[in-house]
Chain A
Amino acid sequence: MRRAIQRRQDDESALADSDEPIEAAEESGQLTPWDRVRIARHPERPHSLDYINELMTGFIELHGDRRYGDDPAIVGGIARFRDRTIIVIGHQKGADTRENIKRNFGMVKPEGYRKAERLMKHAEKFGIPVVTFIDTPGAEPGIGSEERGQGTAIAESLLTMASLKTPVVAVIIGEGGSGGALAIGMADRILMLENAVYAVASPEACAAILWKDAGKAPQAAETMRITAPDLLEFGIIDQIVAETSPAHEDPQAAIASVGATVDRALDDLMTVVDQPSGLDRLMEFRYEKFRRIGEWTEAEPVSVS
């Protein structure tokens, strides 16, 4: 834990030292993927509760997984968004070190994923759409998390999302850290803020494993293709939510853009659902959405007689 905090402080101070190059890069429109990683992790970037509090009314937080505990690294509850009741779930990072310790830097434990899963099933029961906000360095690596089945918790959340009979919209608002992000991200519409990143592993971890040098993280970030434009090109996300200036500089603008985009996505999905056999079609669309992802070549079979 101490190391994680230290690392975070290092990040923050590194960022404070070098905000200038980011600004220069922004002005020239030349943000590198590594710049975006740093923006996505910026402590002042709006986090899930900022979106919930700004965009929704009557939010009632629902705690706990009814199995083991309540994980503050993930928040969820029922709320009013525009003219709809929704279930909202999000990773929650802290804005400062104290809150980050409480929130475990947004690194979720099995009980957090089980809380999310139970809230999704709750949404399904009442036919309420689900909105998720993704912002995590990854699922928590820890002894207790392993004892309580971290892998199983993520897998079961995916299984639930795969056949959840209600629309789901996911927004990557900051850091989309691997399986810990995907666990609440298997949605009908996947939206992503312009400066958010979404990766199979952190650039530091990738660099440490493949370059044997975590310092090569900027190169790793480049080749991993983790930015919103990359992922839109790959057909993995559906839409980019523009940040006219990075969200930590103008949080209100980013939050408003996210609100408008989520609203339209929910409109689209509810239009599908409201038609005859709408839920069946939604399930079919969701299956096909993930079914088609992947790139490979396939030779014609040689006839063997």
Chain B
Amino acid sequence: MRSILHRGEKFQPLPTDDGRLDQQMPGGLWHKCVKCAELIYTKELVNNLRVCPKCGHHARLRARERILQIVDHESFLEWDRLIQPADPLHFEDGSGSYSEKIHSTQTRSGETEALITGTALIAGRPIALAVSDFDFLGASMGSVFGEKLTRAIERCAEIGTPLLTINASGGARMHEGLFSLMQMAKTVAAFARLGEARVPHISLLADPCYGGVTASYATVADIIIAEPGALIGFAGPRVIEQITKQKLPEGFQTAEFLLSHGMIDLIVERPDLKARLVELLDHYARVHQVDRGESIPWQPTLVPVAGPNGASADGTSSVPNRVSAMGASS
């Protein structure tokens, strides 16, 4: 059991093998906002959770950086990192075999798959996380993605820990054919059971979220949050434009579009996310404790409550006690 996060560095992304994060920052010092083209001092951007200080654009994040942004310092324990994709179809396209693509993607991204799952504390509250990594084959959902997510859901149902999914994905992974499509059914079925266990699922939709992920577990959550400006939909905008020959309306498929059409609960800006999650978790914890007179395993623990930057309130960085059931399977 070990923490995969770097020590003592708040919001510091893990370096990847090819220094991809550096490539996004010319010279490593400056970053150009993709929306307003403002040059931003990289350190300032990272401290601002990669939200452009000028225009408010929420830049895409790698999965581990997202996790670091919201969980308490050193509290994340990863689940099921040893599951690896297989190539059940022996799939080959114009650019080579799926096996080779997986290998090169793993090397480049530093991840074994497009979904990272695990458990952590958010301001002292236990939570499970399933976070997709768009840099890994567009965070497409194949067998490993589905299996890791399903195991996470089943653990949450068993131990009563709320699950936060953070979803940015191109949809089902074509290279695994119908195995990928069936992960939609598999994950939704697991979420149906989580619902029967009355354990909350909070889904955060991030840019971009499309296809089989939008059409499965990500949109049947108890709470659906989106990041400002995120593009979310079923069919991609280019496909719709090509087929309908219609000009797409202004702001089509943005988080704001979904909110006004009644498809999501709320939009939360990245700097407010952690606080809103804590509020939500506490509301559901109170439902169980007060209204039902039940004691549940995810009530706030006696861990020192973390400050806004992940440091604990008394300035130390003690590793909190863990709920044993959570760590057991990591």
Residue among A147, A151, A225, A299 with most chain B CB within 10 A = A151
User: B-facing mask of A191-206, CB < 8 A → 1, else 0?
Assistant: 0000000111100001
User: A-facing mask of B200-219, CB < 8 A → 1, else 0?
Assistant: 00000000000110111111
Q: Is the CB of B185 within 8 A of A186?
A: yes
User: B-facing mask of A233-252, CB < 8 A → 1, else 0?
Assistant: 01010000000000000000
**Alpha-carbon distance A182/B182, docked complex (angstroms):** 8
Which listed residue, A220, A299, A304, touches B84 by the CB 8 Å rule? Answer: A299
**What is the CB-to-nearest-CB distance from A13 to chain B, in angstroms, rounded to a whole number?**
20
Known: A151-B215, A151-B234, A286-B189. A296 touches B243 (CB 8 A): no
In the complex, which range does the number of interface residues on chain B fall in?
35 or more
In the complex, which range does the number of interface residues on chain A fall in?
35 or more
Which listed residue, B82, B93, B220, touches A301 by the CB 8 Å rule? Answer: B82
Which listed residue, B94, B179, B192, touches A294 by the CB 8 Å rule? Answer: B179
Among residues of B, the one whose C-beta sits closest to the C-beta of A154 is B215
Known: A151-B215, A210-B95. A200 touches B143 (CB 8 A): no
**Alpha-carbon distance A123/B243, docked complex (angstroms):** 35
Q: Is the CB of B261 within 8 A of A149?
A: yes
The answer, yes or no, to whether A96 is at the interface (CB within 8 Å) is no
Q: Is the CB of A182 within 8 A of B186?
A: no
Residue among B178, B181, B212, B217 with most chain A CB within 10 A = B178
The answer, yes or no, to whether A178 is at the interface (CB within 8 Å) is yes
The answer, yes or no, to whether A20 is at the interface (CB within 8 Å) is no
The answer, yes or no, to whether A271 is at the interface (CB within 8 Å) is no
Q: Is the CB of B219 within 8 A of A152?
A: yes
The answer, yes or no, to whether B88 is at the interface (CB within 8 Å) is yes
Q: Is the CB of A298 within 8 A of B84?
A: yes
**Alpha-carbon distance A45/B248, docked complex (angstroms):** 35
User: B-facing mask of A120-145, CB < 8 A → 1, else 0?
Assistant: 00000000000000000001011101
The answer, yes or no, to whether B42 is at the interface (CB within 8 Å) is no
**Alpha-carbon distance A220/B91, docked complex (angstroms):** 9
Q: Is the CB of B185 within 8 A of A142?
A: no
Contact partners of B86 in chain A: CB under 8 A: 295-297
The answer, yes or no, to whether B246 is at the interface (CB within 8 Å) is yes
Among residues of B, the one whose C-beta sits closest to the C-beta of A287 is B189
Contact partners of B244 in chain A: CB under 8 A: 1, 141-143
Contact partners of A1 in chain B: CB under 8 A: 243-245
The answer, yes or no, to whether A213 is at the interface (CB within 8 Å) is yes
The answer, yes or no, to whether B172 is at the interface (CB within 8 Å) is yes
Among residues of A, the one whose C-beta sits closest to the C-beta of B154 is A291
Chain B residues 1 to 59 lying within 8 A of chain A, measured CB to CB, are 1-2
Contact partners of B233 in chain A: CB under 8 A: 146, 150-151
Q: Is the CB of B184 within 8 A of A179?
A: yes
The answer, yes or no, to whether B92 is at the interface (CB within 8 Å) is yes
Q: Is the CB of A3 within 8 A of B220?
A: no
Among the stretches B144-152, B158-166, B282-290, B314-322, the one at the interface with A is B144-152
Contact partners of B147 in chain A: CB under 8 A: 294, 296
Closest 3 pairs between A and B when the two form their complex, measured CB to CB:
A141-B235, A151-B214, A294-B143
In the assembled complex, 26 residue pairs joining A and B whose CB atoms fall closer than 8 Å, in A order, are A141-B236, A142-B243, A143-B252, A145-B234, A146-B253, A149-B261, A150-B233, A151-B214, A151-B218, A152-B215, A154-B216, A155-B214, A179-B181, A179-B211, A182-B184, A220-B93, A224-B91, A225-B178, A287-B193, A290-B182, A293-B179, A294-B144, A294-B179, A294-B186, A296-B143, A298-B84
Given contacts A143-B248, A182-B181, 20 further A-B contacts (CB under 8 A): A139-B215, A150-B233, A151-B211, A152-B214, A152-B263, A178-B172, A179-B172, A179-B216, A186-B188, A201-B172, A224-B177, A225-B178, A236-B178, A290-B186, A293-B185, A294-B147, A294-B182, A296-B84, A298-B83, A299-B84
